[in-house]
Chain A
């Protein structure tokens, strides 16, 4: 029954990261911190999907040179590679917007930057 404890650790970490990121996104007012929250949320989701593909004692899924035995699933890793690339571009775009906001208003506080309301 030993393997069960290490198996679940990634999912506990996912839950923790999700909680932290939701807290940050909902309650922080600094735009940079909101972006950090989204980045943490992305990390949590990526960790979740990669951990799903893990097999105990599995080897890297390189088909041309695998030793005998179980491989970890390659599909989640391929998916997450895509997702990481997307996350980088989303975060880069968000940061440029924050730079523009700062230039216009001299502030990156979400409460003060309220040109649009009502």
Chain B
């Protein structure tokens, strides 16, 4: 057990990677066997993630240095700075890791039946595992260049999966948009890394933060990193790719790509809070994040109202919900240097924003899955051609209702819990922002009511008489997410205290992140 705990940060990346590369081999034995192996490997990774989480919540940040004699030894003897690649897993990293893992498990189980009749399944599962590895690596790494590599890994895998159904022309187009955006943003990140390396001769995030001078060059690097990650997380005004890619990606993949956007959001927070934290005018940068958030919220939901393609509509809502996370954490960033305000409402705002990440990954992911369940059965995403599906697809309808109520922030669902935290704390920062957030929530409810009425209610349509409920594995995939949503809805306080508050602390407490690596250096 001790061995597992110590090596879990590396294993949680290595195990799915192994699965990815043996998948093409073992699928020669049989598809059933391959599916079993993949689910087993991902479950094992989830188990490792749980072991790691328990360790981190009991004994603090865990460091894993690749190639060192002792994994905790970040700085080799006779050196003053870390030279090896480090995985540094703290509260926010493990929070993102848990989110990713839950979504990946549900999406994998869902995909088992969904891609059953498609060709190229072994490549689908390979890329799926690589996408998971890319996200977890991005969330765990403590090294700037490593962050770039994992960003590219998740981009390539994500783009390949988004255009998995190459027989559909729009799928290729959506995938192409995603890879172009990803390639540009990754190159911007590499450029920024070059600037930082040229200045400090360092790549480790902790060591860079320790030596940060905040010169003009650093400001340029911050701007480049900011643009790159906002592009990847689909914040307005750089959101153009998201509706296209989310709409065309196969069902299990849309939640995964959406979660990878959340991973990019984590990278943005890591850069602003940990790498640059305290060196810049946090109020100004905080306001920039807040304005980005409000724009995303408002424009996203306004674009969503008139959509007729169900997945495109949900994709615009996904952009809009990202706005809440940016708003909550942006308020925390704006008052970061003001201890009174931080204690009074900044911390709660950040709790709300971070709690919203996992809530949203769950209910948004589930809504995408229900949308694709409909597409799976009736072959269209056009809302105008749907109707009366509630008669035959009872479970899908129930899951859709849960997701729609949660995303609209209706009590007692988990969306309400995180949104309430945001409303209350943001109201004390600036009442207008809170009013906008509530208005957006109302419009969201209206929009999902429209979807519910046009897709599920009404008389049974003659064209869809033969429509049946989706296969079991797809129901299980959605059920996993629904169970998590219901759990989060019943115990929001427990969840906030155990996993969200440590994440917030990890972001605010820059010194302990630096000390985790640079502790030995005076």
Contacts and interface: CB of A to CB of B under 8 A. Distances in A.
A94 B156 contact: no
Contacts of B193: 49, 79
Contact of B152 (A48, A79, A90, A105): A90
A25 B185 CA distance: 13
A100 B197 contact: no
Given A90-B179, A93-B156, A115 B173 contact: yes
Nearest to B308: A118
A94 B180 contact: yes
Contacts of A97: 159, 163, 172, 175-176, 179
B169 A38 contact: no
Interface string B167-206: 0011011111001101110110011011001100001000
Contacts of B166: 100
B172 A49 contact: no
A72 interface: no
A5 interface: no
Which of A79, A97, A105 has the most chain B CB within a 10 Å cutoff?
A97
A78 B306 CA distance: 50
A98 interface: yes
Given A41-B187, A98-B176, A89 B156 contact: yes
Which of B152, B169, B187 has the most chain A CB within a 10 Å cutoff?
B187
B160 A93 contact: yes
A49 B160 contact: no
B149 A86 contact: yes
Interface in A16-57: 25, 31, 34, 38, 41-42, 45, 48-49, 52
Contacts, number: 87
A104 B184 contact: no
A104 B176 contact: no
- SS class of chain A's interface: helix, strand, loop or mixed? helix
B194 A101 contact: no
Which of B172, B174, B244 has the most chain A CB within a 10 Å cutoff?
B172
B243 interface: yes
A8 interface: no
A19 B240 CA distance: 22
A49 B194 CA distance: 5
A6 B198 CA distance: 18
Given A90-B179, A116-B243, A118-B307, A101 B187 contact: no
Interface in A59-118: 75-76, 79, 82-83, 86, 89-90, 93-94, 97-98, 100-101, 104-105, 113, 115-116, 118
B247 interface: yes
B312 interface: yes
A78 to B, nearest CB: 9
A1 to B, nearest CB: 22
Which of A31, A41, A89 has the most chain B CB within a 10 Å cutoff?
A41
Nearest to B198: A52
B180 A48 contact: no
B187 A94 contact: no
Contacts of B182: 90
A41 B179 contact: no
B503 to A, nearest CB: 30
Nearest to B153: A86
A97 B170 CA distance: 11
Contact of A101 (B149, B156, B160, B176): B176
B248 interface: yes
Given A90-B179, A104-B169, A116 B194 contact: no
Interface of A: 25, 31, 34, 38, 41-42, 45, 48-49, 52, 75-76, 79, 82-83, 86, 89-90, 93-94, 97-98, 100-101, 104-105, 113, 115-116, 118
Given A42-B183, A75-B203, A94-B179, 14 more contacts: A38-B183, A42-B187, A45-B191, A79-B193, A86-B186, A90-B182, A93-B159, A97-B175, A97-B176, A98-B176, A101-B169, A101-B176, A115-B173, A116-B244
